[in-house]
A and B are shown apart, each in its own frame.
Chain A
């Protein structure tokens, strides 16, 4: 996929309706143009924003793909949070990164929302220590 077609795909996906409709008007918008374009430019394939309970609010990919990712990642996220709290109750997880052969999944856990960025690798590196 070339860069321009990836950007156009992101442009198209961003216009779709949000996955979950909420009546409350939020004071912040998480998927502004600069945010999504910056991530897309740096190799992000999908961006998902969940609330603190794991309900998807916004996504740049389709509803089906969002559901697949969230149903797999949400129990893993809460398990990681429990692991960190179990090791040290005063500690808390802030960021999680899962690297696989083909891509990376970055998860940021804030107090109000959870941000998931799925990223592809440019080339396959032989070293796995990063």
Chain B
């Protein structure tokens, strides 16, 4: 389990422009983070709620469909959420224009 989390962290950290990575467990508790703690808790609470709502919405539209990823593009940065069975991975990146 811990080795798996380390592998995930290294994998996403190697991408350019990545400014923060948070890995949550299914109960929205941060397991690993590269960001500041208060900001991590803030992201964890808000993004996990949005992820659960999006997963429910996708199932509402089509019962055999499943949520794979969410991308939130904002003015400043981009938040990529990857929900999987055991973790929710949140990657914050600053894409170049």
Interface residues on B, range: 20 to 34
Most buried by A among B42, B46, B67: B46
Look across to chain A and name the residue whose beta carbon is closest to the beta carbon of B66.
A101
Q: Chain B interface mostly helix, strand, loop or mixed?
A: mixed
Is the pair A92, B75 in contact by a Cβ cutoff of 8 Å? yes
Q: Chain A interface mostly helix, strand, loop or mixed?
A: mixed
- How far does the alpha carbon of A130 sit from the alpha carbon of B64 in the complex, in Å? 21
Tell me how many residue pairs across A and B have CB atoms closer than 8 Å.
82
Q: Please give, as numbers and ranges, the residues of chain A lying within 8 Å of B97 by CB-CB distance.
A: none
> Cβ of A83 < 8 Å from any Cβ of B?
yes
Q: Please give, as numbers and ranges, the residues of chain B lying within 8 Å of A41 by CB-CB distance.
A: none
Q: Please give, as numbers and ranges, the residues of chain B lying within 8 Å of A84 by CB-CB distance.
A: 72, 74
- How far does the alpha carbon of A99 sit from the alpha carbon of B36 in the complex, in Å? 28
Is the pair A99, B47 in contact by a Cβ cutoff of 8 Å? no
Q: How many residues of A contact B (CB 8 A)?
A: 29
Beyond A73-B57, A91-B76, is A83–B47 a contact (Cβ under 8 Å)? yes
> Cβ of A72 < 8 Å from any Cβ of B?
yes
Beyond A97-B70, A98-B70, is A79–B75 a contact (Cβ under 8 Å)? no
- How far does the alpha carbon of A128 sit from the alpha carbon of B8 in the complex, in Å? 13
Is the pair B57, A72 in contact by a Cβ cutoff of 8 Å? yes
Look across to chain B and name the residue whose beta carbon is closest to the beta carbon of A86.
B46
Look across to chain B and name the residue whose beta carbon is closest to the beta carbon of A73.
B57
Is the pair A79, B53 in contact by a Cβ cutoff of 8 Å? yes
